[in-house]
Amino acid sequence: MMTFTKSELEDACTLAYRHMNATPQYSWPLLNARTGTPTWVKHENHGPSGAFKMRGAITFMDWLTRTHPDVPGICTATKGNHGQGQARMATAAGLRALIYVPHGNSVEKNAAMQAFGAELIEHGADFDEARTEAIRVAALEGLFIVPPFHKELVRGVATYAFELLSAQPDLDTIYVPIGCGSGICGTILARDALGLRTKIVGVVSDRAQTAKLSVEAGRMIETEAPDTFADGMAVRVPVPEAFEIYSKGAERIIAVSDDEVAEAIRAYYHCTHNLAEGAGAAPLAGLLQEKHRMAGKTCAVILCGGNIDTDWFLQVLQGRTPKL
C-alpha cells in the first residue's frame, strides 16, 4: 500500500512552493459558534486555482517531465479542479493539455480550464464516461493519460494536510470530502507520516455514495450516475488504489445531502465570507451533522475548493438548493 515518509512530503512542499504559497488554516469565532466546537478551516480555496488539485498537478508534472521527457502532452478527465491544475502545469511545461469533461459541466470551471491553457472537450453524461473517452483518445494520439489517482498526485495533495497537521498536531478529527480519493488518502498518509493519531472522517454526497458503500461492503460498489451539485464528489466508480487506503485509514465515512451542503455554503459565507463550492463545503456539512458527537473536540474541515458557479451561489444565498 502507498506510504510516504516525512522527508518525501517535505520535498513535495518544497516543490509545491515554487509554484504556489502554503494556504492558511484559520479558526473563525462565528464558525466555531455554529459547529459548537473549536474548528480549524484549511483554506485550499485560497490556492492559485481556488482548489487543492493544483498541488497534485505540480508534483505530477514534475515527475512526468523527468520520467517521460518526450511526451507531447497529457490527456485527462475532470469535473473542473483537477483539470485546472493539469492545464496550468502542462502548459507551463510546454505540453498540450487535452481535457475531457461531461456534458453539462460547470460553465465557469470550463472557462477557467481553458484560461489555463486546456483544449476542452465535452463527452458523456458523467465523469466516469468522460474518463473512459479520455483514456481511449490518449492512446490514439500518443498523449500521457493523467489518472485521477497516482502516487505523485497524492504526494502533492498530501502537502495540504502536512501543512495543517504540522501547524495543529493536536487535532482530534479532520473532515475530508471524497471524490476519487486523492484528498482523503493524502490526509491519511500525511497523518501517518507525522506519526499522529488524528481521526479522518470521509464525507460523500448521499447521491454519490460509491466510497461509503464500498467500505461498508468491503469491496468495490459501483453506483448509479450521481445527481448532485457537489460536483467534486460526483463519482460513481471507486478507485481501487484509493479504496485500499481510505478503507483502512479512515475512522468512518458519512453521507451528506445537497440541502446540508447548501447550508454549509451559507455558513461559510455568513461566518467567514469565504466562497465554498459543493465539495468544498461537504466537510463542514459533515461536522455540522455530527455536531453533538464532536462537542468539545478540536476539529478541522478541508475547504478544498471555492469554485462555485455564480448562479448556484446566488440560489444558495437565497435559501435554495441548486438542482441539476
Domain containing 133 — which CATH number? 3.40.50.1100
Residue 293 belongs to a domain: yes
End-to-end CA distance of the chain: 37
Give residue-wise pLDDT tens across range 121-149. Answer: 999 999 989 999 999 999 999 999 999 99
Residue 70 belongs to a domain: yes
- Are residues 96 and 199 both part of a single domain? no
pLDDT at residue 225, as a whole number:
80
- Are residues 156 and 204 both part of a single domain? yes
- Are residues 180 and 252 both part of a single domain? yes
Give CA–CA dist 196/215, Å, rounded: 23
- Are residues 108 and 141 both part of a single domain? yes
- Are residues 119 and 255 both part of a single domain? no
pLDDT at residue 128, as a whole number:
87
Q: Are 102 and 125 in contact (CB under 8 A)?
A: yes
Amino acid at the residue 17? Y
pLDDT at residue 298, as a whole number:
98
* Domain extent at residue 288: 6-52+151-317
- Are residues 262 and 158 both part of a single domain? yes
Q: Which three cell numbers stand for residue 234?
A: 460526483
pLDDT at residue 240, as a whole number:
96
- Are residues 89 and 231 both part of a single domain? no
pLDDT at residue 1, as a whole number:
85
Whose CA is closest to 44, among 232, 197, 208? 232
- Are residues 166 and 302 both part of a single domain? yes
Amino acid at the residue 295? A
pTM reported for the whole predicted model? 0.97
Q: Which residues of the chain have pLDDT under 70?
A: none
- Of 128, 145, 162, at which residue does a domain stop? 145
- Are residues 220 and 268 both part of a single domain? yes
* Cα angle, residue 35 at apex, residues 188 and 170 outer, rounded to 5°: 40
- Are residues 238 and 312 both part of a single domain? yes
Residue 1 belongs to a domain: no
- Residue at grid coordinates 498540450: 96
- Are residues 36 and 163 both part of a single domain? yes
Task: Name 320's Cβ contacts closer than 8 Å, sequence gap at least 6.
Answer: 262
